[in-house]
Amino acid sequence: MNDKLRNNFEDAFSRFDFKKVRQVMRLLEWTWAGSDEIPTEPDMEETVRHLFDEASNSLSKENSSSAWSTGGFKVEVFNSGNVNIEFVAEDSCVDWEE
C-alpha cells in the first residue's frame, strides 16, 4: 500500500462523522448481526479501518478501484490514491442483462 493511499484514508477517516452515524443507527434501531446493541463509535471506527485494510490489500494495477462493505459501511479505494468512506442506510441496484 502506498503512503498517499494511507494518508488520504487517515484524512477521510478524521473527517467522517461517526457520532452522526451512531445517531442514525440509534434512530433506526440498527444493530449488527450477533448483537442486540447499537455499535459504539470505537466499534464503527475499527470496522472502517478493517474495511480499508481489506480494500487496499485487494487493490491491483488491473483494477482501478476496490471496495469492501459491512454493517452499513463501505470503503472504496482507488489506484489514484483517492479514498471514499460511506455509511449507506438504503441502497438499490439493478444489473440489466440484455
Residue 88 CA, chain-centre distance (Å), reads 9
pLDDT band at 1 (very low <50, low <70, confident <90, very high): low
Q: Record the pTM.
A: 0.90
Whole-number Å distance between alpha carbons of 58 and 80 = 15
Query: pLDDT per residue over 75-95, tens digit each?
Result: 999 999 999 999 999 988 888
Query: pLDDT per residue over 29-40, tens digit each?
Result: 999 999 999 999
Rg (CA), the chain: 15
